[in-house]
Amino acid sequence: MKKTVLVTGASSGIGRQTARLFRQNGWNVIASMRNPENETELNALENVWVSRLDVTDQASIDRTISEGIARFGTIDALVNSAGYGLFGAFESIDRPHFQQQFDVNVFGLMEMVRAVLPVFRAQKTGVIINISSYGGQVALPFATAYAASKFAVEGFSESLSHELYPLGITVKIVEPGSIATNFRNSMQFVPTQIDDYSPVVSSFFSRSATPTAHLQKATEEQVAQTIYLAATDGKQQLRYVIGDDAQFYIDQKYKQTDEAFVTAIREYFVN
């Protein structure tokens, strides 16, 4: 029997490339997205089922899983790719905006995992791949909402990986760096009206790309290949970093003292 993967956020970017790659490698693909009526490619491919799914809508999650199993017989892997980034000075981000960031990036991801776990437990196998970011380990200025959500994904995934290991279920985290995908178009910036922040905001955004300008960035195809590797390599490896810029920031944090790391980030972006 062919294996089946369920991919969230498959309408664009990493999610779309991941759906394509799994299908090319002989998998059945449940390509889920909020607006499948706009899809013109994936729904024409054999062994791909495009499903309407919003990770903040429990009914759509449950329906996609039940109909996907009815169509393909089982689900063997879940790729949680849906998400977006909210940026701006924390003091200017109100509670509803911060809550929505967590509803999509954290609680939506958790509910996807919760919904698929009974399937994986029954078959005593399954792989969960949660798409994080180097921003799940390194928090840059004006990313309080996004970084907090990705740090939460990292902690949740790491703890869950130990919890599910005795059940034959594997959890993986993929941490891309900067990628020219639709994610940039889905970024939300909250402008600040507080003058005290203006010089720091201006400094950060004018210098944000400078520290890693010389480094190779991963393409969305390379990220998809990393996701496929994580799903199929049979290893207990937890984290997969992709992109030299992602590795740069992670090394900055873990290969020097905490004081040196904090100083470096502030020299890059704030001072």
Q: How far is it, in rounded angstroms, from Cα 70 to Cα 49?
A: 12
240 noted as active-site residue:
no
**Separation between Cα atoms, residue 130 and residue 153, nearest integer Å:** 8
Q: Give the tens place of pLDDT for each residue, 44-81.
A: 999 999 999 999 999 999 999 999 999 999 999 999 99
Contact assessment for residue 161 and residue 213, using Cβ atoms and an 8 Å cutoff: no
Multiple choice CATH, 4-196+217-243, 1.20.1560.10, 3.40.50.2300, 3.40.50.720, 3.30.1440.10: 3.40.50.720
Tell me, yes or no, if the pTM score tops 0.85. yes
Which is catalytic among the residues 11, 32, 134, 146? 146
Catalytic pick among 132, 149, 157, 178? 132
Is 150 labeled as catalytic in the residue annotation?
yes
The ranges assigned to domains in the chain are 4-196+217-243
Backbone angles phi, psi at 176, to 5 degrees: -80, 160
Task: With cut-offs at 50, 70 and 90, classify the pLDDT of residue 271.
Answer: confident
Tens digit of pLDDT for each residue in 194-238?
Answer: 999 999 998 898 898 899 999 999 999 999 999 999 999 999 999
For residue 132, indicate whether it is catalytic.
yes
According to DSSP, the residues that pair with 31 across neighbouring strands are: 7, 50
Candidate list 81, 133, 149, 150, residue with the active-site label: 150
